């Protein structure tokens, strides 16, 4: 995910890669809040800074100090100095007071805490219970630890961050989780639906439920939130219709042959793996050299997304392409990546830095545009769709699933009772079927 710019030139915090506004204080990195809520982050920072400063005496503060109204601490300060000695703001034709002139930081913090309710015409929330903003921060920090330990993909974290930012924006960072009602979730669903289709909306709602279920499991709230009927996922019928309206996410055989001919040495090997073994972007980026047996023509590599073991026979064309990539493989910059089969020309891995910055997708898009066959939604990952679509015509679905690395459906009892793994002969039959489709002139060779 792209880092946001600072809201103002003098904003004292910087956007950390964890998705939070941060600042190094006395040699230690301190986080103050989500990218999506810079005002709350700023208030927390100022509250921390002000706690280290000596304030004017209570008596002097109550009288407004010298009696001369102070100027605003900075140009974008949202409050004004009222004659009564308090920082104030008129909201919905009513003046509200937020604290004495002597403590503008505390007044700002109170304004930021109450502003969503005041602007909406509600009484500000009382108490120090769990707020939506705090929940989102704790949830993302927890998920970041899983990313750091290799248990969660960066792309999944990016999706969670995007969803949390939307939740904070719509519901308000200071809103108490315990006070959320079904009408709030109806409002949230409607906001998602403005920019997302049924398929994306299905994922949005799922991630929101994961967020609030986290609050229950961690003991942050005593009673689960009530979503109501207005926060249901789109039905299967709606999802089917939405998918049918989208263009087919697959390539034709002649298109893949043109891509292979036009691609550079590394991308050519990746494309061969994509259509031969149903590899996706992440599969190629994380593929270790030890998983590839070019001499015997096999790959044994568990799918990073699910951890399910996969074994796939390699075509002669794939063996040649992978060997060529190895012959011209750049030296990795980091010792941690020395076993990766694919390394960029800069010596870095092909793993995406964020959801929108995927090196494999970018290289593929360049080739597709150069060939004049670029279509929205049809990129490198479409090779995986193509493999499954063609391979299923071999009529050995179990062998296709084994190569794809699909997890069995929990309700599929045939998977429970099937004690015999798919043997190599069946795996080879499936990949040979796809090869004959892609290279008909080599059928039987």
Q: Any idea where the domains of the chain sit in the sequence?
A: 132-245, 253-442
Q: What is the mean pLDDT of residues 98-114?
A: 90
- Considering only residues 405 and 242, tell me which one the structure prediction assigns the higher pLDDT: 405
Residue 129: the pLDDT is 80
Residue 12: the pLDDT is 92
Q: Which CATH architecture has domain 253-442?
A: Orthogonal Bundle (1.10)
SS3 of residue 436 by DSSP: helix
72-81 confidence digits (pLDDT tens): 999 889 999 9
257, 387 Cβ separation under 8 angstroms: no
Residue 1: the pLDDT is 61
Task: Show the tokens assigned to 77.
Answer: 């300060």
386-395 confidence digits (pLDDT tens): 999 999 999 9
- The answer to which of 28-32, 90-94, 206-210 has the lowest mean pLDDT is 28-32
Residue 49: the pLDDT is 74
- The answer to which of 48-62, 152-166, 174-188, 412-426 has the lowest mean pLDDT is 48-62
Give the position of tokens 């500000």: 124
Residue 352: the pLDDT is 80
CA pair distance 38, 20, nearest whole angstrom: 9
**Is-above-0.85 flag for pTM?**
no
CA pair distance 440, 120, nearest whole angstrom: 66
pLDDT at 205 over 90: yes
Q: What angle do CA 406, 410, 415 make, to 5 degrees?
A: 65
CA pair distance 409, 415, nearest whole angstrom: 8
Residue 180: the pLDDT is 94
Give me the phi and psi of 22, to 5 degrees please.
Answer: -140, 165
Helical H segments across 278-406, by residue range: 281-286, 316-327, 359-371, 382-391, 397-404
Residue 127: the pLDDT is 56
Residue 58: the pLDDT is 39
Residue 444: the pLDDT is 61
Confidence of residue 115 (pLDDT cuts 50, 70, 90): confident
Residue 262: the pLDDT is 96
Q: What is the CA radius of gyration of the chain?
A: 28
Task: Show the tokens assigned to 263.
Answer: 């691609």
pLDDT at 416 over 70: no
Residue 306: the pLDDT is 75
Confidence of residue 421 (pLDDT cuts 50, 70, 90): confident
The CATH number of the domain covering residues in 132-245: 1.10.150
Using CA atoms, how far residue 14 sits from 11, 64, 98, 114, 355, in Å, is 8, 34, 27, 25, 21
Residue 247: the pLDDT is 67
Based on the number of CB atoms within 10 Å of its own CB, is 34 exposed (0-12), middle (13-18) or buried (19 or more)? Answer: buried
CA 367, 368, 370, 371 torsion-angle sign: positive
């Amino acid at each position: 995910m792209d880092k946001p710019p600072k809201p103002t030139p003098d904003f004292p915090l910087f956007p950390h890669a964890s998705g939070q506004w941060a600042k190094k204080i006395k040699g230690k990195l301190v986080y103050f809040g989500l990218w999506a809520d810079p005002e709350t982050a700023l208030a927390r920072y100022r509250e921390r800074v002000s706690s280290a400063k000596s304030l004017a005496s209570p008596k002097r503060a109550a009288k407004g100090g010298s009696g001369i109204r102070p100027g605003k601490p900075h140009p974008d300060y949202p409050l004004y100095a009222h004659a009564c000695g308090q920082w104030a703001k008129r909201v919905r034709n009513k003046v509200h007071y937020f604290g004495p002139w002597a403590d503008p930081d505390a007044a700002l913090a109170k304004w930021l805490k109450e502003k969503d309710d005041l602007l909406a015409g509600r009484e500000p929330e009382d108490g120090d219970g769990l707020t939506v903003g705090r929940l989102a921060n704790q949830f993302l920090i927890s998920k970041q630890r899983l990313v750091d330990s290799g248990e969660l993909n960066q792309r999944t974290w990016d999706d969670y961050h995007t969803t949390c930012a939307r939740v904070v924006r719509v519901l308000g960072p200071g809103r108490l989780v315990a006070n959320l009602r079904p009408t709030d979730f109806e409002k949230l669903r409607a906001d998602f639906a403005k920019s997302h289709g049924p398929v994306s909306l299905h994922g949005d709602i799922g991630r929101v439920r994961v967020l609030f279920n986290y609050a229950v499991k961690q003991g942050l709230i005593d009673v689960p939130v009530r979503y109501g009927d207005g926060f249901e996922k789109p039905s299967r019928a709606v999802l089917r219709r939405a998918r049918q309206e989208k263009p087919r996410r697959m390539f034709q055989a002649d298109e893949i042959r043109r891509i292979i001919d036009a691609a550079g040495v590394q991308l050519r090997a990746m494309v061969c793996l994509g259509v031969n073994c149903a590899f996706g972007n992440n599969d190629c980026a994380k593929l270790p050299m030890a998983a590839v047996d070019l001499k015997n023509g096999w790959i044994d590599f568990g799918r990073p997304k699910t951890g399910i073991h996969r074994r796939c026979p390699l075509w002669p064309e794939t063996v040649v392409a992978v060997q060529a990539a190895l012959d011209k493989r750049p030296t990795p910059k980091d010792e941690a990546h020395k076993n990766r089969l694919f390394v960029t020309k800069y010596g870095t891995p092909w793993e995406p830095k964020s959801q929108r910055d995927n090196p494999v997708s970018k290289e593929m898009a360049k080739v597709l545009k150069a060939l004049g066959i670029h279509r929205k939604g049809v990129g490198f990952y479409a090779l995986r769709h193509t493999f499954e679509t063609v391979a299923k015509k071999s009529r050995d679905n179990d062998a296709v699933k084994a190569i794809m690395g699909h997890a069995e459906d929990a309700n599929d009892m045939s998977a429970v009772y099937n004690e015999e793994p798919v043997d190599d002969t069946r795996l080879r039959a499936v990949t040979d079927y796809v090869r004959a489709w892609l290279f008909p002139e080599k059928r039987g060779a």
